Chains A and B, each alone.
Chain A
Amino acid sequence: MKLVVAVIKPFKLEEVKAALEGVGVQGLTVTDARGFGRQRGHTEVYRGAEYQVELLPKTRIEVLADDDAVSDVVKAIVDGARTGSIGDGKVWVVGVEQTLRIRTGEMGGDAL
């Protein structure tokens, strides 16, 4: 069992969600996030006063996946999120020790 985490551009969420559903993903968690990478921030100007906004709005998504599905999930996220311009985000995969569905008590792969 793996946890696939990605930080993407907020306006790519719908495409990523569709791509994940296309590879059979049945659930995901989405969080509004802020952050910066090599892209850094942007400038905002109010009545002539300039502000450097370094933390940009991003969307963080988390998907639990069986080991053999991980590569499809990662590929779906990349396909959905990629624009080719700077700031497209990151994907990383971490190991998961245990999963459990709260309602039924099912564990492991059955809990997905």
Chain B
Amino acid sequence: MDSGDTAFVLISAALVMFMIPGLALFYGGMVRAKNVLATVMQSFFTMGLVSVLWVLAAYSLAFAPGNKFIGGLSFLGFSGVGQEPNPDLSATIPHIAYACFQLFFAAITPALITGAFAERMKFSAFALFTTLWLFLVYAPLAHWVWAPGGWLRELGALDFAGGTVVHMNSGFAALAAAIVIGRRRGFLKEAMVPHNLTLTILGAGILWFGWFGFNAGSALAANGLAAQAFIATNTATGAAVLGWCLSDYLRRRKTTTLGAASGAVAGLVAITPAAGYVGPMGSLAIGLAAGIVCAWAVGLKYRAGYDDALDVVGVHAVGGMLGALLIGVFADTAFNSAGGDGLLAGGGLALLGKQAVAVVATLVFSFAVSFGILKLVDLVVGLRVSEDDELSGLDLSQHEEVGYAFAEGGGVVSQVAAGHAAPAERAPSTVRVPQGDLG
């Protein structure tokens, strides 16, 4: 056991946790004002829900010894998940630290999907979907890719920090969700514009910060590989911001803040599977490609006619696929001897072929099972809110709150510092606060 590795992984776990409120802001700023709370709630609630389900059973299904496709039941309730390392999973840190680190990956993945069905799903349907999806899609796929004996891991496909398990997986579940739930009322007819991009760009910044835990932490050790993954993550993200802004500029001679924020996330997504296998120049190429390709991919929904409200498909499915495949081009054992050699490192097409198998398997499994779960949830509780509830907004209809309560009557409060005298007398308040019995 190594105390430095343990400290690093625990801090990385907390960094990944912080990505979830970051995601809440990233998404929350992009919806209309009437849906801001429902949108941030879907991310925040997922954090609570998965925190419980993971300890109870999902960790076991993902990582307990089982067969090629799913883990067993030996880690139910975190039994057997102790302070000693589990050498099959991580030799130098407590098993429980590894399980904590994996918990937040499992929590952010279903939260990513919520962008696709934003502004129209019932809260009960969302909670039921997230629960079923964690057990039936996330846990098996994590097992395939990361657990000892998982079939994609045995095949030799590489996924450093979750390009397939987290991003392609959430991206194709998002595509299924957008198709099954249908478009928002008024999609393509009325303007559905982001209500507060300041929140969105702050959220993107928090995601960028937390992602160092996600990718560098996936080295599972405080070592050179973690530092390698750290700079790969940052370089790709910078390049993707430039790539998306360049796309925006070439189209209309203007850069956009939403483009810069989206570019950062696209770069982070694409470098996730590759972060520990490529060098700085490879990560630069992957990031630049992600910025440009995802800027194009978010337009696909208008041609295909599905309403992926916040572009989970265009950013996570496409960016995740791109990163997983480009490992087959840019991976180099000079940077990680446990990785592989891609096309440019003289490894030929072998690695690219394995990556393609992982991409296709993820795509088919995630889309098909998610589709089935959504149909089932629709049958049981109904996916969509009523037309009235959708028009009045999910904040009011699902949560009985509003995101923005400005001063009464829309009045403007004058600045005290500007020298206005306080009013000489105050009208009695019309609000009655319950008082105790004074008699």
Contacts and interface: CB of A to CB of B under 8 A. Distances in A.
Mutual binders A and B: yes
Contact of B194 (A32, A46, A53): A46
A49 B192 CA distance: 10
Contact of B254 (A45, A47, A49, A53): A45
B262 A47 contact: yes
A51 B251 contact: no
A49 B194 CA distance: 12
Interface residues of B, number: 18
Interface in B259-309: 259, 262, 295, 298-299, 302
A48 B191 contact: no
A51 B262 contact: no
B392 interface: no
B31 to A, nearest CB: 12
Contacts of B194: 46
A45 B257 CA distance: 11
Interface SS of B by simple majority: helix
B256 A46 contact: yes
Interface in B161-209: 191, 193-194
Nearest to A31: B410
Contacts of A44: 193
Interface string A46-88: 1111010100000000000000000000000000000000000
A48 B410 contact: no
B254 A48 contact: no
Nearest to B259: A47
B258 A46 contact: yes
Contacts of B420: none
A100 B194 CA distance: 44
Nearest to B311: A47
Contacts of A51: 191, 193
Nearest to B190: A51
B234 to A, nearest CB: 24
B252 interface: yes
Contacts of A47: 258-259, 262, 295, 298-299, 311, 314
B295 A48 contact: yes
Interface SS of A by simple majority: strand
A49 B254 CA distance: 13
A25 to B, nearest CB: 18
Contacts of B311: 47
B408 to A, nearest CB: 15
B133 to A, nearest CB: 26
Contacts of A45: 248, 252, 254, 256
Contacts of B410: 32
Nearest to B298: A47
A32 B411 CA distance: 11
Nearest to B30: A46
Contacts of B256: 45-46
A47 B191 CA distance: 13
A53 to B, nearest CB: 7
B299 A48 contact: yes
A46 B254 CA distance: 11
Nearest to A53: B191
B64 to A, nearest CB: 41
A59 to B, nearest CB: 12
B193 A46 contact: yes
Nearest to A47: B298
Interface centre among B191, B252, B262, B299 (most CB of A within 10 A): B191
Which 3 pairs of residues, A with B, have the shortest CB-CB distance? Answer: A51-B191, A47-B298, A48-B299
28 contacts: A32-B410, A44-B193, A45-B248, A45-B252, A45-B254, A45-B256, A46-B193, A46-B194, A46-B256, A46-B258, A47-B258, A47-B259, A47-B262, A47-B295, A47-B298, A47-B299, A47-B311, A47-B314, A48-B248, A48-B251, A48-B295, A48-B298, A48-B299, A49-B299, A49-B302, A51-B191, A51-B193, A53-B191
Interface of B: 191, 193-194, 248, 251-252, 254, 256, 258-259, 262, 295, 298-299, 302, 311, 314, 410
Interface of A: 32, 44-49, 51, 53
Given A46-B193, A49-B299, 18 more contacts: A32-B410, A44-B193, A45-B248, A45-B252, A45-B254, A46-B256, A46-B258, A47-B258, A47-B262, A47-B295, A47-B298, A47-B299, A48-B248, A48-B251, A48-B295, A48-B298, A49-B302, A53-B191
